[in-house]
Amino acid sequence: MQSWIHNVAVATTGILVTVALLSPTSAAAKRAGKTVHTRTKVTLAVQASDKSRRGRTASRFASAKRIATRRGLRTVSHVTRRAEPPQLSFGQMAGLHATDDPLDLKSSVALVLDQDTQEVLLSKNERAVLPIASLTKLMTGLLISRSGLPLDEVITITQDDIDTEKGSRSRLTIGSRLTRGELLHLALMSSENRAAHALGRTFPGGMNRFVGLMNANAIMLGMKDTRYVEPTGLSSDNRSSARDLAILVAAASKDSLLRELSTSPGYEVAVGNRVLQYNNTNRLVRDPNWHIGLQKTGYISEAGRCLVMQARVAGHKLIMVFLDSAGKHDRLADAKRVREWVKLRHSANTSAGSNA
């Protein structure tokens, strides 16, 4: 195992929980002003949501159970599903969608910066700490790529890899055998949850060590608002800010393997006697008008639709982060708005320079 793994192992998950959730000191708070208010508001909304959701779920289940018992039903699962109302994202509950921005973005959180100069071109609630869904898998992929573990080692999908958090589906059935490289490809390109979980489960030292290293690496990168509890992003306890995610994208974009796998349009993998076709969850990678170096999408109801990318626009390498977009296609539409805005901005600056 490379020395990098040894270096990051000294940090622990417990340390990061403290770093991610504490507010700044009073002196820093006076300087931060609105930022502290936003982070506190999001934290309170998240805590209230967790408590409220548990209470509503228990109440609905008890009511449905009584109805099912009177009607002689064996199961109440279909009753509780019909009773479940649409769930608001944490950003919606915190009122972040009410924040104005010059491009009228549909994402409640956004950050666009020049990777080379670190100039912030656009910022919207960039310090709000929210669930990040499958954007988590970028850190999972970064750890696997840097570990030096053999990518041709065969890993078997087990019962432990089944999603008990959200009940998501997967075509990787129990007993499926794939190489570590194939699992990494599916996790980054098509956001395969069982693939990502298996990568963490089979890491030397097991899942607890892997999650500890995810948090340790976040600390080393300077991601002060970030906390991981598992490697897939299915848990809403995986949380970060747009500013932290921009740091992660910058680090991941320097890894040639992550760039290649995350931007692959499609991939076929042989599982037993079947050949499964997977496609990229981000259709922009197939658009010739885009020059994307790295990307990752994410979605759970608590996080909304999320997207991070490193892309070349008007000769500049841009890092784009969009969190908590309500509509299915809004995060991609936001990315397009930003691209056109940056191109117009570049043209205006070029014209001004030539006229000077």
Quick: pLDDT tens for 47-68. Answer: 655 555 555 545 554 555 555 4
Q: What is the residue-averaged pLDDT of the chain?
A: 85
Query: pLDDT tens for residues 246-288?
Result: 999 999 999 999 999 999 999 999 998 999 999 999 999 999 9
Report the alpha-carbon distance of residue 240 to residue 257 in Å, rounded. Answer: 24
Q: Is the pLDDT of residue 294 over 80?
A: yes
CATH number at residue 99: 3.40.710.10
Collapse the DSSP code of 223 into the 3-class scheme (helix H, G, I; strand E, B; otherwise coil) and give the result.
coil
Q: Which residue has the higher pLDDT, 38 or 273?
A: 273
Q: Is the pLDDT of residue 46 over 70?
A: no
**Which are the contacts of 323, defined by CB distance < 8 A and separation ≥ 6?**
91, 107, 108, 109, 110, 128, 130, 132, 242, 245, 303, 304, 306
At 26, is the pLDDT very low, low, confident or very high (cuts 50, 70, 90)?
very low
pLDDT recorded at residue 348: 81
Q: How many domains does the chain have?
A: 1
pLDDT recorded at residue 43: 57
Amino acid 309 reads: M
Please say if 106 is a catalytic residue.
Answer: no
Q: Which helix (H) or strand (E) holds 278?
A: strand 274-279
Report the alpha-carbon distance of residue 306 to residue 191 in Å, rounded. Answer: 12
CB 239 within 8 A of CB 130: yes
- The encoded tokens of residue 325 equal 């977009």
Report the alpha-carbon distance of residue 94 to residue 236 in Å, rounded. Answer: 15
Report the alpha-carbon distance of residue 94 to residue 41 in Å, rounded. Answer: 6
Which residue is catalytic, options 89, 147, 191, 235? 191
Q: Which of 203, 55, 42, 262 is nearest to 131 (CA)?
A: 42
pLDDT recorded at residue 47: 60
Residues paired with residue 277 on neighbouring β-strands, in sequence order: 268
Q: Which helix (H) or strand (E) holds 44?
A: helix 34-71
Q: What are phi and psi of 231, to 5 degrees?
A: -95, 0
- The encoded tokens of residue 34 equal 């609105």
Q: Is the pLDDT of residue 25 over 60?
A: no
3-7, 12-16, 41-45: the lowest-pLDDT one = 12-16
CA distances from 206 to 121, 199, 211, 235 (A): 41, 10, 9, 18
Q: What percent of the chain has pLDDT over 90?
A: 71
Residue with tokens 């992003």: 233
Q: Is the pLDDT of residue 16 over 70?
A: no
CA distances from 179 to 15, 142, 173 (A): 33, 17, 15
Q: How many residues does the chain have?
A: 356
Report the alpha-carbon distance of residue 108 to residue 321 in Å, rounded. Answer: 11
Q: What are phi and psi of 306, to 5 degrees?
A: -125, 155
Q: Which residue has the higher pLDDT, 33 or 241?
A: 241
Q: Is the pLDDT of residue 8 over 90?
A: no
Amino acid 335 reads: A
Which residue is catalytic, options 134, 147, 236, 240? 134
Which residue is catalytic, options 124, 137, 224, 296? 137
At 40, is the pLDDT very low, low, confident or very high (cuts 50, 70, 90)?
low
Structural domain for 296, as ranges: 3-355
pLDDT recorded at residue 346: 84
Please say if 77 is a catalytic residue.
Answer: no
What value, to the nearest 5°, has the Cα angle with vertex 198 and ends 197 and 203? 105
Question: What is the model's pTM?
Answer: 0.79
Please say if 137 is a catalytic residue.
Answer: yes
CB 312 within 8 A of CB 291: yes
